[in-house]
Structure 1
Amino acid sequence: MNAETDTDGTGRKPIVKEAPVVTAVTRISAPVEDVWRVLVAFDQYAQWHPVLSLDAKPEQVVVGAEIPGRIAVDDTAEQDVTMRLVVVQAPHRLVWEGGSLDAILGKHSFALTPQPDGTTELTDSEEFFGAAAAELVPTLDQLREEYSRYGAALQARVEGLSG
């Protein structure tokens, strides 16, 4: 866990000294370029991602682009989201932000690292900021499992297209 909490002596909600972070690492049996192509094919997320569908084309992969979408956690709850691309370093790094500092702002990053055996190591990480970020600390292990599931879904999609 990367977050430390403390109180300010008033009995109010904890203050986050470091932003909570969740990270999952997945090895994908495909070159970085193949993983990148699937990662930035935003309009195809609904075909492989367990909870996220996005409404943008790959040509919109530029810093500052706003990517609208939906998160469907279960069959009944669906939430509209908008991610703003803040880092695009093809084909190695993609970072987007979504949310609000008034509640929770997530800074989600994908790092693709080529391995000597021709595979790709995907590091999927999200750092949380904002007034309610401290409330995520007890759920970081659960979130880590979810991000591992997302990495496995990306792995299956990429390897299914490559193989």
Structure 2
Amino acid sequence: MRQLISTTDIAAPPEHVWGVLTDFSRYSEWNPMFTGAAGDLVPGGVLALRMPVTEGGRSMTSRTRVLEAEPGRRLSWRWRVVGSAVLQAVHEFDLRPAGGGTTLVQRETMVGALVPLLSPVIATYEKTFVRLSEALKARSEGEAGRGA
């Protein structure tokens, strides 16, 4: 098992952060990990997440299953490669009220036989994972400051 965790304080209320996080049509404007997304944001729904794989703009689309979608509070999804024994990851966003703003806890838990073999890839992925938290903070605070 491998777990990535990023905690970030955002000077915007959870409902606003949720709005930014779930506005899939605007991901390409700010999101370093997912340049696009589409699907049903309900438990059991399927999301198609587009991720860049090269600097030149090539991307891949990953299909995920929504586990939780509680507006203003929590979003999580699961993706698998072949099956849960090979590689499975659960990606979570927890939005916690904190002094008029939000504490974002982003977590990804990876399990399966491939996890130890993918250690160098996961190390690179972790940098983008942290950049996602930072970008969500910047986007949410910027929009909140403009009254968007």
* TM-score in terms of structure 2 length: 0.84
After superposition, the C-alpha distances for 1:96-115 in whole angstroms (9 at most, x for unaligned) are 11232364221000001111
Residue pair 2:65, 2:78 contacting (<8 A) in 1 also: yes
Residue pair 2:85, 2:111 contacting (<8 A) in 1 also: no
* TM-score in terms of structure 1 length: 0.77
> 31, 50, 58: which is aligned to 1:49?
31
Using a 3 Å threshold, how does the CA distance of structure 1 residues 154 and 99 change in structure 2: closer, same or farther?
same
For the pair shown, which has the larger CA radius of gyration, 1 or 2?
1
- How far is the alpha carbon of 1:156 from its aligned partner? 1.1
- Corresponding position of 1:94: 75
Q: What RMSD in Å do the two structures reach over aligned CA positions?
A: 2.0
- How far is the alpha carbon of 1:86 from its aligned partner? 0.7
- Percent identical among aligned pairs is 30
Residue pair 2:77, 2:92 contacting (<8 A) in 1 also: yes
Q: Distance in 1 between matches of 2:23 and 2:121?
A: 29
Q: For structure 1, list consecutive stretches of 5 or more residues without a partner in the other structure.
A: 1-18
Using a 3 Å threshold, how does the CA distance of structure 1 residues 96 and 137 change in structure 2: closer, same or farther?
same
- Corresponding position of 2:55: 75
* Equivalent position amino acid for 1:82 in 2: R
Counterpart secondary structure, 1:74: coil
The alignment covers a number of residue pairs equal to 142
Residue pair 2:33, 2:129 contacting (<8 A) in 1 also: no
Q: Distance in 2 between matches of 1:78 and 1:93?
A: 27
Using a 3 Å threshold, how does the CA distance of structure 1 residues 143 and 119 change in structure 2: closer, same or farther?
same
